[in-house]
Every structure is written in structure tokens, then in C-alpha cells.
A and B are shown apart, each in its own frame.
Chain A
Amino acid sequence: MAFFFQIFLAGIAAGCIYALVALGFTIIFKSSGVINFAQGELLLLGAYLVSAGVSQWHLNFFLALFIAIAITVAIAVAFERFALRRMIGRPAFSVLMLTIGLDTLLLTAVIAIWPDVLYAPAAPYSTTAGFDVGGVHITINDIWTIIVTGILCAALYAFFRYTRYGLAMRAAALDQEAALAVGINVGLVNTFSWAIAAAIATIGGFFLAAHLSGVNPGLGVIALVAFPAIILGGIDSVLGAVVGGLIIGIVQQLTAGYENTALIHLFGQSFTLTDKLGPSFDAIAPYLVMLVVLLIRPYGLFGKRKVERI
């Protein structure tokens, strides 16, 4: 049982990271209808900047984090202002290709600036330290991941619910023309959503690096596991992004924890998942969960059923 709780907690922590990536996607999609494929590399850049700030430039961690957020936000805002803004009214496909372009650009830039493969993660605490509670080993990093994600979600909720900028963003997400007609600056709303997404991506990048004990160019791809999380939760739902992220994280960690050891008794045989399906079934598990959920609810757990005339 202790083993189960240990993996479950690790699952929640991993789920929090996916939730952070998914939140960035959802906020941009809701306000402007753009699916941002560059979210993973914004996270990568954020992770590198934090690491480089601490280990190369010898900055205080929080100063490094602040600078990293400022730079990723500036890049995201500039991209929205000068590239996406010109694409208003163009087919969604062209816009999507632009975000893939940004993705490639960021990845190439990161590899060019930091050619060494692995950088140590920077954190104001030891990323490997932990303690035992009743046989369950808990790492400090997991605890911080969960706490910070919780605070961020609460802050975002309060922002959307109680501030006028939050209200403007919700209104613009529901009906752009009506928002324009009452005087909401929809362009500013879009810019703002990119800024929020980039800031969240940087924080997610820091935790993902701390989780994997290193910063490497593959982080952006790992972050893409957030895709099943988004689709599972419903692409237009902020709550769905969080719940979807948590589900995917827990499913993935449980599969990884049990696939080699748990015996399945079926048709008179005893075997583990790895015996039959090979190693790393946990990499596929999130997509399987997504498929099953989509079969039952095609618009995701919290997504909105969209009626479209063809």
C-alpha cells in the first residue's frame, strides 16, 4: 500500500506539471482559437533560462526565475503582436503552421545557445531530498510542485473570476464581436493570454527539469504528453486542463510503477504488462485513456459540445 501511495503522489506531482502545460494551451485557445504548438518549447526555453541564470550567471534563484519569465513572456508577446496579429481572418491551418515555426525556432535557438546536452536543474531546495512518512518516500520537489501548481490555479481562478481583465478575457473567449462591441480591446486580451501562457510554461519548465534532475532539449517533447491531458479535459476548459493533467500524470506513474511487477492472471496464465507488450507501456497509457474518454465524451470531460452546421 505504501508503494501505491508513493506512486500516486508522484503521479499527482507529474500531473501538476502536465496541468501547467495544458493550462497554457487552453488559455490561448480559449481567447483566440489558436492551438499553440510552441508551448512545449516555450517551456524548454524557460527551463534553460532558469538553469543558466543560476549555474552560469550565478544569480539568485528567484531573480533567475523572474528574468526567465520576463524573457519568455516578451518572446510570446512579440510573436502574438507581430506574427499572429497579421493572420487574423486567415485559415486556422496557416496560424497553426506559424506556431510550429516558432516551436522549431525556439528549439534551434536553445540548442545553439546551450550546446551541452545536460544542465543541472536550479532550485532553492535540493531536488533529490525527501523524507519518509509511514514507509512512503516523499520528495521535497513533489511537494513544491503540488503547492505551487495549487497556488497558481487558485490565482488564475481568482483572476478570471474577480478582475476586470479576467472578465474581459472570459467575454472575449465567448464572443469576440460582442466583446469588441462593448469596447473590450480583444487584441490586448490575446496578447495577455500569450503572456500568461508563457509565464506558466516557464514555471512548468522549471518543475519538469527539477523532476527529471536535468535540463535537456527533450523537455519540450515530454511536455507534449500534456496533449492527451488537454483533449481529455476538453480543449476549451481551464478546469479540464487541470483535471486532465492530473489524470494523465497519475495514470502514467501508476502504469510505470506496476507494469514490470504486477501479475495479471488471465486465461490460466500469469504475466506482467511488460511481458506481453514490451517495456515503457506507460508512454502509451495516457493516449489510451484519452481514446477511451473520447469514445464516451467526444468533446472531453469538461469541454463544450459544439454544434456546427456543415
Chain B
Amino acid sequence: MLAVQDIEVSYHGVITALRGVSIEVPDGATVALLGANGAGKTTLLRAVSGLLRIHDAAIVRGSILFDGQRISGLDATAVVRRGIVQVLEGRRLFAELTVDENLRTGAIAARDAAATRRAYDRVMDLFPVLRERRASVAGYLSGGEQQMLAIGRGLMASPRLLLLDEPSLGLAPFMVQQIGRIISEISASGTAVLLVEQNAQMALAAASYGYVLETGSVVLGGPAADLARDGSVRKFYLGLHQEKQLGSFATLRTTRPERRWTLE
């Protein structure tokens, strides 16, 4: 469905954020993208959704295909019309608009009234709490409700691929679990999800496949279950081991962890 092929992205024409990254999202699958701050996860999402330009960045090499058609270089509106929507990190709701108005903005690009009504009903089924708060101003919702609204707004254009950037950020553990369940539901209803997460445990539980990104390159990729068992992933992203000194992820993958300095 989505194939990112060997892309290189640079900001302001000088800073290379991604070098030779290739990933794939199969039809209807949920794929997790792990990595530390600054690894290039958000940049990768922006490259897919056409949001690089307003950050003064561009794809300088490689291409992105969606259903076999090249989408790299299209503007954000065109990408949304093709069926890919990105939900930005930090929710970024239109805080002064109501819940309903926020949802309507999500359908502005779609243009198909019947599809929009179906999408609206689907969002309300997925997030019953939004139905009760339809007329509330979005800025007054709780953090969890805001994240639901942000995802709901993304679903209003009936995307076939949803790009989620840190949906669990700043949420209570209970809400994180709920967001994880919602992602599984979305994916079960046929919408593929590319999920960027700091919370690797939630991400790997929701995803079927995962990639680890470090300083602009993919250093590891495989089925989510395998990644969850991988020693280095466990150590770095799941926090299941603690080392006194952590080197770079790439070097640690080739060297065996030696002595443990702390109790587990």
C-alpha cells in the first residue's frame, strides 16, 4: 500500500534528517515506528503527508509510492485526497472551534457528502464521548478527549492510511491503553495505521510490524512480536533492562550486553 523507497530528506537544504530510509505499510496493517527523539520519525511522517514544505524541508532523493503511484512531491491537500491523513503530535486541535466544527474541518478536503456522513457516524461510534460534547469548545476537553477528537478529525476524510504521531503523549496510563485499543479498532475496520510512538509497549502491542529509526536511518525492522522480544529493543524502548552506560543503539546491537550493574 505505502512504500517509502530509499528517501533522503533535508531541512533548509543543509541538515539531513533522513538518509536512505525505506519502509512499507501493507494494506490495512498497523506498523509501529520507534526511535529516540530526533531520530527522524516525525520527518518521515511529514515526508509521506506532504508537510515537509512548510518546515522548509524537501525529499532530495528516493520516492514514496501509494498504491503504486508516486505521491512524493504532492502538496498536503492532494495527499489527503489520495487517502492519507496525518494526525499531528500534540493533537493540534482548533482550540476555539467546537468539537463538531473540528470534525467538519477534517472533511473539507473530502468533498463527498455521503462519505462524510458515514465517516462522522463512524467517529461517533468509535468515540461516544465526543457525541456528548459535540457543542463544546475543543480547548476545554480533557487531554484524552482531545486526542480522541484529533484522531476523529483525521478519520473524517475517510483515509485508507492514518499517520499517528505520538498519540499517547502526555496521557494517563489508562488513556494510553484506551488509545491502543482504539488504534486496533481502526485497523480492524480496514484503515491502515503508521504509528509513531515513544510508548513502545503500547505501539508494539497494537502493531503487527515495526521499524526502529536511529539518527535518520532504519536500524531494525521486523514483526512486532519479534521486536518486542529483541534484546536491544527491550533495553532501549521497553526499559526492561537497565545499563549504567548506554552507547548508541547500533553499536549495542553488535556487541553483547556485558555485566549488569543494577538489579532488575
User: Which residues from chain A sit less than 8 Å from chain B, CB to CB?
Assistant: 88-89, 164, 167-168, 170-171, 174-185
Contact = CB atoms under 8 A, between A and B. Distances in A.
B94 A183 contact: no
A179 B105 contact: yes
B56 A184 contact: no
Nearest to A188: B77
Contacts of B34: none
Interface stretch (B79-87, B219-227, B234-242): B79-87
Contact of A181 (B56, B81, B86): B86
B108 A167 contact: yes
Contacts of A175: 92, 94
Interface of B: 49-51, 54, 56, 75-77, 79-81, 85-88, 92-97, 101, 104-106, 108-110, 153-154, 156-157
A185 B97 contact: no
Nearest to A171: B105
A183 B108 contact: yes
Contacts of A171: 94, 97, 105, 108
B96 A182 contact: no
A147 B108 CA distance: 33
The A interface is mostly helix, strand or loop, or mixed, namely helix
Nearest to B88: A181
A182 B85 CA distance: 7
B138 to A, nearest CB: 10
Nearest to B101: A167
A179 B97 CA distance: 13
B49 to A, nearest CB: 7
A25 B99 CA distance: 29
A168 B77 CA distance: 12
B104 A183 contact: no
Contact of B94 (A88, A164, A170, A180): A170
A136 to B, nearest CB: 41
A185 B77 contact: yes
B112 to A, nearest CB: 13
B96 A183 contact: no
A162 B110 CA distance: 17
Contacts of A88: 54
A177 B104 contact: no
Contacts of B104: 164, 167
Contacts of A180: 50-51, 54, 76-77
B92 A181 contact: yes
Contacts of A89: 54, 56
B95 A174 contact: yes
B88 A183 contact: no
A168 B153 CA distance: 13
Nearest to B12: A89
Contacts of B153: 182
B12 to A, nearest CB: 10
A181 B87 contact: yes
